[in-house]
Amino acid sequence: MNLLTEAWIPVQHAGLPEKITLQQLLCGEKIGELCLPRDDMEFACLQLLVALTQVLFTPADKKALVQRMQKPLTLEEYVNGCEGKIDWFDLSHSETPFMQFRGVKAKEPTPMDKLMAGVADGTNKAFVNPQGLASGLCSSCVAIALYNTAYNCPSMGGGFKSGMRGSTPITVLIEAEDLRQTLWFNVLTAESLSREMPWYEDTLAQTPGYVSGLVKDSKITASSIGLTSGLFWQPARFELMPAQAASACSCCGQQGDVYTGFNKEKFNYTISGVWPHPLSARTFVIKKGEREEKFPSFTTTQPSWVHLAKLVVEMQQEKEGYHPVPVVGQLKRLGARRLDLMVGGYRNNQATVLERRHEMFSLAKGWDQQPEIIDELVRTAQEYKKSLRKALYIFSEGIKDRFAGSGVNLTESYDVLFYQQTENLIHNALSYINFEQPKNDLDKLYSSLKAVVLRLFNQATEPYQQEPKMLKALASSRRLLHKYLNELEAQGGSHESAKSA
């Protein structure tokens, strides 16, 4: 199957599922929304579509991009964009199969479910993934799974490399009116690319990594990796076994030939530095005068909003900072509009996927003028959680020589409750906040957060209210909580200073 010429994009239009071609989508001949039984596969499919559009049809500048957003490609433009590149995107090409290498040696083939993140992991996954989900995949699902494995998943374990953004990075995509427009909102212009990667023009002639091949144990610098190579980087050596005779795809259900296994082999190389992926933010610390960058990922159970400022705000302090997702930075330069974001990624423990995340965020109009408000909101909301945590800690531990605590540490479970009970408040505040004059909206949010904190504190300490032995601990921790909350309220004017800075 060839991704540039054949119908592989799983969409649904007016309730009917079908597979359409990239040409039909980009030339506006067919419409529909992506439709797969797993949110992570849908998200990976969108990433793959964006990467194809980016590499084949990079708009020169802002004007060209705006035109693309408004008007579908002509057939001639589509054909010109694909010229010379069709062989790169053929799943069963005899020499350079899509996201694979030929001649991969393995003792025995790996079953297909290893290519579907989460399915092969032992614990609890039966709830999330119906059994047999990846026993055979159609060529469309297998192309998406290969791309997902290369960019979003933990490595296959010992000796296998993880993707070029490291294990399980957070990916951010902008959502627009429909699928075709969404692709263009996530494509960088040549102008933006030169800004993100100054070596962009010089590396235009590069082909995908799996086409040009990689030398074993080679040492590569991120600044030598061009756009095409970076967006189609296969970190592992995989080769699909030939497809088997007709049966139903265990992911999308389509009847046809299915892939049931692949060969994989260990292959080592190193990349120094960080490649500026268009759909990823980067955080950095400055150590001994050197800037060390990395991609944020979901490392804890904290909700996604905790990471939001890193994803959309440019921040540089003396020793640390963050650089927003390049496509979000580009939209900021294009001019104000409401921003709808899709944020996705896995949380892992080494090769095991613990959790899938796929969330939507809306940022009200004006976010691009005052992005530091987002930073302040996220920080302050976390301070409210910390004040609850600190008060509950004192309540459970007591203070030496003054009073004994309950001995029951509730901080972790109440962190979880705080996040559960404030998630909607935060999402709502972000989507309606008046970024030009945020004070009222922020005050409203903070007083709601304060009410949640007080309610949770009462809930946690309620069973001890009648115990004479606990009266001191109760009074002291409550006094501390009020002190923390008052301090936070006193800082409430900080958005004024943020604004003028």
Residues that bind Zn ion (CB under 5 A): 138, 141, 249, 251-252
Q: Which residues contact 102 (CB under 8 A, 6 or more apart)?
A: 94, 95, 96, 239
Q: CA 406 to CA 392: how far, in whole Å?
A: 10
Q: CA 213 to CA 88: how far, in whole Å?
A: 12
For Zn ion, the closer of residues 104 and 248 by Cβ is 248
> What's the min distance (Å) between Cβ of 170 and Zn ion?
26
Q: CA 428 to CA 446: how far, in whole Å?
A: 13
Q: Could you say which DSSP state residue 243 is in?
A: P
> What's the min distance (Å) between Cβ of 262 and Zn ion?
15
For Zn ion, the closer of residues 141 and 331 by Cβ is 141
Q: Could you say which DSSP state residue 224 is in?
A: G
Could you write out the three-class secondary structure of 297-333?
Answer: CCCCCCCHHHHHHHHHCCEECCCEEEECCHHHHHHHH
> What's the min distance (Å) between Cβ of 137 and Zn ion?
6
> What's the min distance (Å) between Cβ of 70 and Zn ion?
33
> What's the min distance (Å) between Cβ of 141 and Zn ion?
3
Total residue length of the chain: 501
Coil, helix or strand for 77? helix
For Zn ion, the closer of residues 225 and 252 by Cβ is 252
For Zn ion, the closer of residues 142 and 187 by Cβ is 142
Coil, helix or strand for 399? strand
203-208: which pairs have CB atoms within 8 A and are 24 or more residues apart? 203/227, 203/229, 207/88, 208/88, 208/232, 208/233, 208/234
Q: CA 186 to CA 175: how far, in whole Å?
A: 8
For Zn ion, the closer of residues 112 and 453 by Cβ is 112
For Zn ion, the closer of residues 252 and 410 by Cβ is 252
Q: CA 145 to CA 114: how far, in whole Å?
A: 10
For Zn ion, the closer of residues 1 and 481 by Cβ is 1
Q: Do the Cβ atoms of 31 and 180 come closer than 8 Å?
A: yes
The shares of helix, strand and coil residues in the chain, as percent rounded to the nearest 5, are 45, 20, 40
> What's the min distance (Å) between Cβ of 342 and Zn ion?
22
> What's the min distance (Å) between Cβ of 352 and Zn ion?
25
